[in-house]
Amino acid sequence: MKDDICVVVETLRGEVTDTTFSMLAAGRELANGLNTGLTALLVGHEVQGLAQNLGAADKVACIESSALVDFNPEAYLRVIAECLKAEPPRVVLFGSTAMGTDLACGIAMQLNAPVITSCRTVAVEDGLPTYACLTCGGKIVAQGPIPGPMCVVIVMPGGYKAEQGRIDKTPAVYALATPAVDGARTVFNQYIEPEVTDVDITKESILVSVGRGIQNQDNIELAEKLAAVLGGVVSGSRPVVDQGWLPTPRMVGKSGKMVKPKLYLAVGISGAPEHLEGIPEAETMIAINTDEKAPIFDVAHYGTTADAVELLPALTEKLKQA
Protein backbone atom coordinates (compact mmCIF):
# COMPACT_ATOMS: atom_id res chain seq x y z
CA MET A 1 0.00 0.00 0.00
CA LYS A 2 2.92 2.37 0.66
CA ASP A 3 3.15 5.01 -2.13
CA ASP A 4 0.21 3.34 -3.87
CA ILE A 5 -3.11 4.85 -4.73
CA CYS A 6 -5.52 3.64 -2.05
CA VAL A 7 -9.31 3.47 -2.43
CA VAL A 8 -11.22 3.12 0.84
CA VAL A 9 -14.01 0.73 -0.14
CA GLU A 10 -17.54 1.48 1.07
CA THR A 11 -19.95 -1.31 1.83
CA LEU A 12 -23.56 -1.01 2.90
CA ARG A 13 -25.33 -4.10 4.24
CA GLY A 14 -22.84 -6.48 2.71
CA GLU A 15 -22.61 -4.88 -0.72
CA VAL A 16 -19.96 -2.70 -2.29
CA THR A 17 -21.51 0.69 -3.17
CA ASP A 18 -21.58 2.18 -6.68
CA THR A 19 -19.55 5.14 -5.47
CA THR A 20 -16.71 2.74 -4.67
CA PHE A 21 -16.52 1.73 -8.34
CA SER A 22 -16.37 5.40 -9.41
CA MET A 23 -13.49 5.79 -6.92
CA LEU A 24 -11.77 2.71 -8.33
CA ALA A 25 -12.03 4.19 -11.83
CA ALA A 26 -10.45 7.43 -10.58
CA GLY A 27 -7.82 5.45 -8.67
CA ARG A 28 -6.98 3.40 -11.78
CA GLU A 29 -6.43 6.62 -13.73
CA LEU A 30 -3.94 7.85 -11.11
CA ALA A 31 -2.20 4.51 -10.63
CA ASN A 32 -1.69 4.02 -14.37
CA GLY A 33 -0.49 7.60 -14.84
CA LEU A 34 1.94 7.43 -11.92
CA ASN A 35 2.98 3.87 -12.68
CA THR A 36 2.16 2.71 -9.18
CA GLY A 37 -0.19 0.15 -7.64
CA LEU A 38 -3.87 0.51 -6.78
CA THR A 39 -4.86 -0.92 -3.40
CA ALA A 40 -8.45 -1.25 -2.26
CA LEU A 41 -8.79 -1.05 1.52
CA LEU A 42 -11.75 -3.16 2.59
CA VAL A 43 -13.00 -2.72 6.15
CA GLY A 44 -15.77 -4.72 7.81
CA HIS A 45 -16.67 -8.12 9.18
CA GLU A 46 -16.20 -11.24 7.02
CA VAL A 47 -15.76 -9.05 3.94
CA GLN A 48 -12.96 -10.94 2.14
CA GLY A 49 -15.57 -12.49 -0.14
CA LEU A 50 -16.34 -9.04 -1.55
CA ALA A 51 -12.74 -8.65 -2.75
CA GLN A 52 -13.54 -10.52 -5.98
CA ASN A 53 -15.70 -7.53 -7.05
CA LEU A 54 -12.73 -5.21 -6.80
CA GLY A 55 -10.82 -6.34 -9.90
CA ALA A 56 -9.95 -2.75 -10.79
CA ALA A 57 -7.47 -2.85 -7.89
CA ASP A 58 -4.16 -4.70 -7.98
CA LYS A 59 -4.43 -5.66 -4.32
CA VAL A 60 -7.17 -5.75 -1.74
CA ALA A 61 -6.11 -5.19 1.88
CA CYS A 62 -8.72 -6.37 4.40
CA ILE A 63 -9.29 -5.23 7.97
CA GLU A 64 -11.83 -7.46 9.61
CA SER A 65 -13.42 -7.40 13.03
CA SER A 66 -16.80 -8.28 14.47
CA ALA A 67 -16.81 -4.73 15.85
CA LEU A 68 -16.82 -3.39 12.28
CA VAL A 69 -19.94 -5.11 10.91
CA ASP A 70 -21.81 -1.91 10.10
CA PHE A 71 -20.37 1.53 9.52
CA ASN A 72 -19.30 3.09 12.81
CA PRO A 73 -17.73 6.52 12.23
CA GLU A 74 -15.20 6.60 15.05
CA ALA A 75 -14.21 2.91 14.95
CA TYR A 76 -13.70 2.98 11.18
CA LEU A 77 -11.77 6.24 11.40
CA ARG A 78 -9.38 4.81 13.98
CA VAL A 79 -8.58 1.56 12.18
CA ILE A 80 -8.17 3.18 8.77
CA ALA A 81 -5.93 5.94 10.18
CA GLU A 82 -3.71 3.33 11.90
CA CYS A 83 -3.30 1.34 8.67
CA LEU A 84 -2.50 4.37 6.57
CA LYS A 85 0.00 5.65 9.12
CA ALA A 86 1.87 2.35 8.93
CA GLU A 87 2.06 2.41 5.14
CA PRO A 88 1.34 5.91 3.80
CA PRO A 89 -0.09 5.83 0.26
CA ARG A 90 0.52 8.62 -2.26
CA VAL A 91 -3.22 9.38 -2.60
CA VAL A 92 -6.15 8.08 -0.52
CA LEU A 93 -9.59 8.22 -2.13
CA PHE A 94 -12.83 8.43 -0.15
CA GLY A 95 -16.37 8.81 -1.49
CA SER A 96 -18.32 12.03 -1.16
CA THR A 97 -20.91 10.07 0.81
CA ALA A 98 -22.35 9.62 4.26
CA MET A 99 -19.43 7.30 5.06
CA GLY A 100 -16.54 8.89 3.22
CA THR A 101 -17.12 12.40 4.54
CA ASP A 102 -17.22 11.15 8.15
CA LEU A 103 -13.74 9.72 7.68
CA ALA A 104 -11.72 11.74 5.17
CA CYS A 105 -11.11 14.96 7.15
CA GLY A 106 -10.30 13.27 10.45
CA ILE A 107 -7.89 10.87 8.76
CA ALA A 108 -6.25 13.69 6.78
CA MET A 109 -5.73 15.67 9.99
CA GLN A 110 -4.19 12.67 11.76
CA LEU A 111 -1.82 12.07 8.85
CA ASN A 112 -1.06 15.77 8.43
CA ALA A 113 -2.17 15.47 4.81
CA PRO A 114 -4.21 17.97 2.78
CA VAL A 115 -7.76 17.06 1.81
CA ILE A 116 -9.51 17.88 -1.47
CA THR A 117 -13.34 17.94 -1.47
CA SER A 118 -15.84 17.31 -4.29
CA CYS A 119 -13.26 15.97 -6.72
CA ARG A 120 -14.94 15.05 -9.98
CA THR A 121 -12.02 13.92 -12.10
CA VAL A 122 -8.32 13.26 -11.68
CA ALA A 123 -5.53 13.11 -14.27
CA VAL A 124 -1.78 12.74 -14.51
CA GLU A 125 -0.02 15.39 -16.61
CA ASP A 126 3.75 15.19 -17.11
CA GLY A 127 4.02 12.84 -14.19
CA LEU A 128 2.07 15.20 -11.93
CA PRO A 129 -1.31 14.12 -10.53
CA THR A 130 -4.04 16.76 -10.77
CA TYR A 131 -7.62 17.16 -9.60
CA ALA A 132 -10.73 18.96 -10.87
CA CYS A 133 -13.46 19.74 -8.33
CA LEU A 134 -17.01 20.83 -8.96
CA THR A 135 -17.92 23.48 -6.39
CA CYS A 136 -20.51 26.20 -5.77
CA GLY A 137 -23.42 23.97 -6.75
CA GLY A 138 -21.69 22.91 -9.95
CA LYS A 139 -21.17 26.49 -11.15
CA ILE A 140 -17.38 26.52 -10.69
CA VAL A 141 -14.62 24.04 -11.52
CA ALA A 142 -11.52 24.35 -9.32
CA GLN A 143 -8.30 22.69 -10.48
CA GLY A 144 -4.83 22.10 -9.19
CA PRO A 145 -2.09 19.59 -8.44
CA ILE A 146 -2.62 16.76 -5.92
CA PRO A 147 0.23 17.58 -3.52
CA GLY A 148 2.63 15.01 -2.08
CA PRO A 149 3.89 13.15 -0.24
CA MET A 150 0.34 12.15 0.62
CA CYS A 151 -3.08 13.62 -0.07
CA VAL A 152 -6.66 12.69 0.80
CA VAL A 153 -9.17 13.15 -2.02
CA ILE A 154 -12.97 12.97 -1.66
CA VAL A 155 -14.45 11.73 -4.94
CA MET A 156 -17.97 12.63 -6.00
CA PRO A 157 -19.79 10.39 -8.45
CA GLY A 158 -20.47 11.79 -11.92
CA GLY A 159 -16.91 12.09 -13.17
CA TYR A 160 -16.56 8.33 -13.57
CA LYS A 161 -19.31 5.85 -14.24
CA ALA A 162 -19.45 2.90 -11.85
CA GLU A 163 -19.01 0.54 -14.85
CA GLN A 164 -15.54 1.98 -15.47
CA GLY A 165 -14.50 0.67 -12.07
CA ARG A 166 -15.96 -2.82 -12.52
CA ILE A 167 -13.14 -4.85 -13.99
CA ASP A 168 -13.33 -8.60 -14.20
CA LYS A 169 -9.94 -9.61 -12.78
CA THR A 170 -8.90 -11.30 -9.59
CA PRO A 171 -6.91 -9.03 -7.30
CA ALA A 172 -4.43 -10.29 -4.72
CA VAL A 173 -6.13 -10.33 -1.32
CA TYR A 174 -4.37 -10.07 2.01
CA ALA A 175 -5.38 -9.44 5.61
CA LEU A 176 -4.04 -6.59 7.71
CA ALA A 177 -3.81 -6.79 11.49
CA THR A 178 -6.88 -5.14 13.02
CA PRO A 179 -5.97 -2.25 15.30
CA ALA A 180 -7.87 -1.99 18.60
CA VAL A 181 -11.45 -0.88 18.02
CA ASP A 182 -12.83 -0.84 21.58
CA GLY A 183 -13.99 2.29 23.32
CA ALA A 184 -15.36 4.06 20.24
CA ARG A 185 -17.65 6.94 21.20
CA THR A 186 -20.02 6.14 18.35
CA VAL A 187 -22.05 2.91 18.39
CA PHE A 188 -24.18 1.56 15.54
CA ASN A 189 -27.62 0.44 16.78
CA GLN A 190 -29.80 -0.48 13.83
CA TYR A 191 -31.02 0.46 10.37
CA ILE A 192 -34.36 2.16 9.98
CA GLU A 193 -36.00 1.18 6.71
CA PRO A 194 -37.36 3.89 4.41
CA GLU A 195 -41.03 4.70 4.61
CA VAL A 196 -43.16 2.45 2.43
CA THR A 197 -45.49 4.41 0.16
CA ASP A 198 -48.02 3.78 -2.58
CA VAL A 199 -45.96 5.69 -5.13
CA ASP A 200 -42.49 4.43 -6.02
CA ILE A 201 -40.81 7.15 -8.10
CA THR A 202 -38.09 4.72 -9.22
CA LYS A 203 -40.73 2.78 -11.18
CA GLU A 204 -42.59 5.74 -12.73
CA SER A 205 -42.04 6.51 -16.40
CA ILE A 206 -43.00 10.19 -16.19
CA LEU A 207 -41.78 12.47 -13.42
CA VAL A 208 -42.62 16.14 -13.00
CA SER A 209 -39.87 17.07 -10.59
CA VAL A 210 -39.94 20.33 -8.67
CA GLY A 211 -37.13 22.32 -7.11
CA ARG A 212 -36.72 25.48 -5.12
CA GLY A 213 -37.63 27.55 -8.21
CA ILE A 214 -41.26 26.51 -7.77
CA GLN A 215 -41.21 29.30 -5.14
CA ASN A 216 -43.96 28.21 -2.78
CA GLN A 217 -45.97 25.25 -1.62
CA ASP A 218 -49.13 26.35 -3.44
CA ASN A 219 -47.37 26.01 -6.79
CA ILE A 220 -46.77 22.28 -6.17
CA GLU A 221 -50.39 21.89 -7.22
CA LEU A 222 -49.51 23.16 -10.71
CA ALA A 223 -47.01 20.30 -10.99
CA GLU A 224 -49.54 17.81 -9.60
CA LYS A 225 -52.09 18.83 -12.25
CA LEU A 226 -49.57 18.51 -15.07
CA ALA A 227 -48.36 15.13 -13.77
CA ALA A 228 -51.97 13.93 -13.66
CA VAL A 229 -52.64 14.70 -17.34
CA LEU A 230 -49.29 13.16 -18.33
CA GLY A 231 -49.98 10.00 -16.35
CA GLY A 232 -46.97 10.58 -14.12
CA VAL A 233 -46.23 11.68 -10.58
CA VAL A 234 -44.50 14.57 -8.85
CA SER A 235 -41.03 14.17 -7.40
CA GLY A 236 -38.64 16.82 -6.14
CA SER A 237 -35.22 17.95 -5.06
CA ARG A 238 -33.89 18.11 -1.51
CA PRO A 239 -34.82 21.74 -0.65
CA VAL A 240 -38.47 21.11 -1.52
CA VAL A 241 -38.59 18.00 0.66
CA ASP A 242 -36.76 19.76 3.51
CA GLN A 243 -39.39 22.49 3.39
CA GLY A 244 -42.02 19.82 3.92
CA TRP A 245 -43.66 20.52 0.54
CA LEU A 246 -43.21 16.91 -0.61
CA PRO A 247 -42.77 13.71 1.43
CA THR A 248 -39.27 12.20 1.71
CA PRO A 249 -39.96 9.15 -0.53
CA ARG A 250 -40.47 11.59 -3.43
CA MET A 251 -36.91 12.93 -3.21
CA VAL A 252 -34.61 12.44 -6.21
CA GLY A 253 -30.82 12.62 -5.85
CA LYS A 254 -27.85 11.59 -3.80
CA SER A 255 -29.72 11.04 -0.55
CA GLY A 256 -33.02 10.30 -2.24
CA LYS A 257 -33.84 7.93 -5.06
CA MET A 258 -32.12 7.08 -8.33
CA VAL A 259 -34.80 7.36 -11.01
CA LYS A 260 -34.90 6.28 -14.66
CA PRO A 261 -38.06 7.73 -16.24
CA LYS A 262 -38.83 8.12 -19.94
CA LEU A 263 -39.53 11.79 -19.25
CA TYR A 264 -37.95 13.85 -16.49
CA LEU A 265 -39.45 17.32 -16.43
CA ALA A 266 -37.27 19.39 -14.09
CA VAL A 267 -39.17 22.44 -12.88
CA GLY A 268 -37.18 25.11 -11.04
CA ILE A 269 -34.34 22.69 -10.34
CA SER A 270 -30.90 24.29 -10.64
CA GLY A 271 -29.06 21.02 -11.18
CA ALA A 272 -26.71 20.83 -8.20
CA PRO A 273 -24.40 17.79 -8.41
CA GLU A 274 -26.25 16.08 -5.52
CA HIS A 275 -29.46 16.18 -7.53
CA LEU A 276 -27.90 15.11 -10.84
CA GLU A 277 -26.60 11.96 -9.15
CA GLY A 278 -30.19 10.72 -9.08
CA ILE A 279 -31.01 11.14 -12.79
CA PRO A 280 -28.20 9.77 -14.98
CA GLU A 281 -30.62 7.39 -16.66
CA ALA A 282 -33.49 9.71 -17.55
CA GLU A 283 -34.31 9.08 -21.23
CA THR A 284 -35.61 12.54 -22.08
CA MET A 285 -35.02 15.48 -19.81
CA ILE A 286 -36.74 18.84 -20.16
CA ALA A 287 -35.66 21.66 -17.85
CA ILE A 288 -37.70 24.73 -16.96
CA ASN A 289 -35.65 27.33 -15.12
CA THR A 290 -35.57 31.13 -15.29
CA ASP A 291 -31.79 31.12 -14.72
CA GLU A 292 -30.33 30.53 -18.18
CA LYS A 293 -26.98 29.62 -16.58
CA ALA A 294 -28.44 26.90 -14.34
CA PRO A 295 -26.29 23.73 -14.59
CA ILE A 296 -29.44 21.68 -15.25
CA PHE A 297 -29.33 22.95 -18.86
CA ASP A 298 -25.99 21.18 -19.35
CA VAL A 299 -27.59 17.79 -18.82
CA ALA A 300 -31.15 18.38 -20.07
CA HIS A 301 -32.05 17.61 -23.68
CA TYR A 302 -34.52 20.49 -23.98
CA GLY A 303 -34.79 23.62 -21.92
CA THR A 304 -36.67 26.84 -21.51
CA THR A 305 -36.35 29.93 -19.34
CA ALA A 306 -40.12 30.48 -19.39
CA ASP A 307 -41.74 31.09 -16.01
CA ALA A 308 -42.95 27.76 -14.63
CA VAL A 309 -45.95 29.37 -12.92
CA GLU A 310 -47.31 30.33 -16.38
CA LEU A 311 -45.91 27.43 -18.36
CA LEU A 312 -47.20 24.52 -16.25
CA PRO A 313 -50.90 25.52 -16.50
CA ALA A 314 -50.44 26.21 -20.23
CA LEU A 315 -48.98 22.73 -20.72
CA THR A 316 -51.74 21.14 -18.65
CA GLU A 317 -54.50 22.90 -20.61
CA LYS A 318 -53.04 22.08 -24.01
CA LEU A 319 -52.50 18.43 -23.09
CA LYS A 320 -56.10 18.20 -21.87
CA GLN A 321 -57.35 19.58 -25.19
CA ALA A 322 -55.10 17.33 -27.25
Contact 170, 52 (CB under 8 A): yes
Dihedral angle over CA of 306, 309, 314, 319, nearest 10:
110
CA 108, CA 81: separation in Å to the nearest integer? 8
Q: Min. distance of Cβ 3 from other proteins in angstroms?
A: 17
Q: Min. distance of Cβ 42 from other proteins in angstroms?
A: 19
Q: Min. distance of Cβ 58 from other proteins in angstroms?
A: 25
Contact 10, 100 (CB under 8 A): yes
Q: Please say which residue, 106 or 171, places its beta carbon nearer to other proteins.
A: 106
Q: C-alpha distances in angstroms, 115 versus 29, 46, 93, 156?
A: 19, 30, 10, 14
CA nearest 252: which of 211, 300, 215, 213? Answer: 211
Q: Please say which residue, 35 or 185, places its beta carbon nearer to other proteins.
A: 185
Q: Please say which residue, 228 or 286, places its beta carbon nearer to other proteins.
A: 286
Q: Min. distance of Cβ 212 from other proteins in angstroms?
A: 9
For residue 71, the SS3 value is coil
CA nearest 2: which of 66, 89, 60? Answer: 89
CA 270, CA 217: separation in Å to the nearest integer? 18
Q: Min. distance of Cβ 168 from other proteins in angstroms?
A: 25
Q: Min. distance of Cβ 305 from other proteins in angstroms?
A: 7
Q: Please say which residue, 63 or 226, places its beta carbon nearer to other proteins.
A: 226
Q: Min. distance of Cβ 150 from other proteins in angstroms?
A: 9
Q: Please say which residue, 32 or 135, places its beta carbon nearer to other proteins.
A: 135
CA 299, CA 12: separation in Å to the nearest integer? 29
Residues 6+ apart with CB under 8 A from 186: 72, 73, 74, 75
Q: Please say which residue, 167 or 230, places its beta carbon nearer to other proteins.
A: 230
Q: Please say which residue, 32 or 143, places its beta carbon nearer to other proteins.
A: 143
CA 23, CA 26: separation in Å to the nearest integer? 5
